[in-house]
Amino acid sequence: MKILIVGGGMGGTILANNLARKMRNELKSGKTSITMLSASDKHMYQPGLLYVAVGKMNPSEMYRDQVSLLEPSIEFKVDPVTEFNLDDNNVKAKSGATYNYDIIVIATGSRTHAEGTPGLAEYAEQFYTEADAVKMYKKLEAFEGGKVVVAVGVPHKCPMAPLEITFMLVDYFKQRGIWDKVQLHYTYPIGRTHSLEPVAKWATPEFERLGITYETFFNMKEVNENVVMSEEGTEAEYDLLITVPAHKGMQVIEDAGLGAGGFIPTDRKRLNMEGRDNVYVLGDTTNLPISKAGSTAHFEAEALSENIASIATIGTATRDYDGKVFCFIEAGDGKATYAMFNYLTPPDPKAPTAGIHMFKTAYNKMYWASARGLL
C-alpha cells in the first residue's frame, strides 16, 4: 500500500511518524510505503511567531530540518504538489514527477489572506510569517506611544492569538516603560471578546482591569492610514494597527477545486474528504467548524494514524476523531491558562497561573518531541 502525505506541518509530521511506528513490519517488508511531499526542507514551530513579534524568541529557534523529525522509514521529498488527480489516485509535483498512491492525506495548511482586506498589507502589522513577525517587532521597537488597535479577520489560525498578542503587548509596553503612553483598543468579530464564552468571561474583566478598551462586532472591511473601518459601519483610529488577518487554504487546493476558500469538505469524525474514501484531510486544510490550531492537527493525526494503519492491516477504520482541541492562552504578567474541549464537552478554563505559563514555555521546546510523535 502506498501512503502519500502532502504537507510537512504539525499534522502531516505527527501522522507520518505515528504511521511509521504502527506499520514498522509492513514498511520493513516493503508491503507499505510512506512518502511525504513538502514545500520546504524546514519545519517551523508556528506558535513561536507570537514570541518573535514581541522580541521574546529569536527566529532561528523556530526551525528544525524536517528530515530530522521523521522516522527513517519515511521517504521525504521537497517537491510541492501542483496538481491533484484524485480520480486517478495520483498527484503531480513541481519537479514534474507524478506520485501514485492508494491513500492520500492532504495537510497543506492555511495562509493569511491580507489582500482580502484593502489596505491591510500596506498599513497594518501582522505576525503569521517570520518576515511579518520581525517587521512587527521592529515597528514596536520604534513605537513611543499612542493608540494601538488590535483587529481580527475571519477565519483565522489560532483562535487564542488575538487575546494572546493583546496581553503580550501589555507586557511589552510595561517592560519598555511606556505603558502609560499607550491606549490599547481590542476589537473582535462577534458579540463578545472571544469565541469561547468562558474565555470571554475571563478576558473582559481583565481588559477592564488593565484599562484596555474593546469593541465587539467589528469585522475589518478596509484599512486606511490611521483608521480601520468595519463591516458594521464603525471605525477605529490608530497609530499602530496589529492584525490577525483572515486566512485561506493553500492556493493549490483552490486551483484544484477541492474546496471553497482552499478548505476541503471533510467528515468530522473519519476525516475523509466528503465523497472520497481514500482521501483524508488534516488540520487547517479541513473545512471543519473547529479551531484552526496545531493541537487540532495533532489530535486529528493521532486518530487518523490509527485508522489508516487499521485500514492497511484489517481493512477498516477503528476510531473516530472526537473534536479534541487543547489551546494554551498566554495571559501576560508571567501567567497562562488553557482551554480544552471536544465536540461534546465545552471548555472550562481556569484562572491563569505562573505554573501553566512555565509549562507553555517548556512546551515551546517540547514541541519537537511532539512533532516526532513522542509526546
Partner 1 sequence: MADRKIVDAKNTFCPGPLMELIANMKQAEVGDELLVLSTDEGSANDIPEWINKVGHEVIESSEDAGVWSVVVKKIK
Rounded to 5 degrees, φ, ψ at 108 are -85, -10
Closest distance to partner 1 from the beta carbon of 34 (Å)? 31
Q: Which is nearer to partner 1, 295 or 305 (CB)?
A: 295
Rounded to 5 degrees, φ, ψ at 150 are -105, 125
Name the strand (E) or helix (H) holding 151.
strand 146-152
Among residue numbers 150 through 169, which ones bind partner 1 (CB under 8 A)?
Answer: 154-155, 159
How many angstroms separate the CA atoms of 26 and 149, rounded? 55
Q: Which is nearer to partner 1, 126 or 291 (CB)?
A: 291
Q: Which is nearer to partner 1, 22 or 292 (CB)?
A: 292
16, 5 Cβ separation under 8 angstroms: yes
Residues near partner 1 (CB under 8 A), total: 30
Closest distance to partner 1 from the beta carbon of 233 (Å)? 7
Q: Which is nearer to partner 1, 214 or 341 (CB)?
A: 341
| Residue matched to cell numbers 458594521 | 232
Among residue numbers 173 through 212, which ones bind partner 1 (CB under 8 A)?
Answer: 189-191, 195-197
Q: What character string, x for contact with partner 1 (CB under 8 A) and - otherwise, covers 242-261?
A: ----x-------------xx
Q: Which is nearer to partner 1, 165 or 312 (CB)?
A: 165
Closest distance to partner 1 from the beta carbon of 159 (Å)? 5
Q: Which residues contact 220 (CB under 8 A, 6 or more apart)?
A: 117, 120, 151, 152, 153, 228, 229, 230, 231, 243, 246
Dig out the grid coordinates for 54 from the structure.
514581541
What residues form DSSP beta bridges with 337? 329
Among residue numbers 28 through 87, which ones bind partner 1 (CB under 8 A)?
Answer: none
Kindly tell me which residue out of 137, 186, 341, 367 binds partner 1, with binding defined by CB under 8 A. 341
Q: Which is nearer to partner 1, 210 or 290 (CB)?
A: 290
Residue environment code for 62-85, b if the CB has 16+ CB neighbours within 10 A, otherwise e: bebebbebbbebbebebbbbeebe
Task: Indicate whether 118 belongs to the interface with partner 1 (CB under 8 A).
Answer: no
Rounded to 5 degrees, φ, ψ at 70 are -100, 145
Residues that bind partner 1 (CB under 8 A): 116, 154-155, 159, 189-191, 195-197, 217, 219, 231-233, 246, 260-261, 288-291, 323, 325, 339, 341, 343-344, 346-347
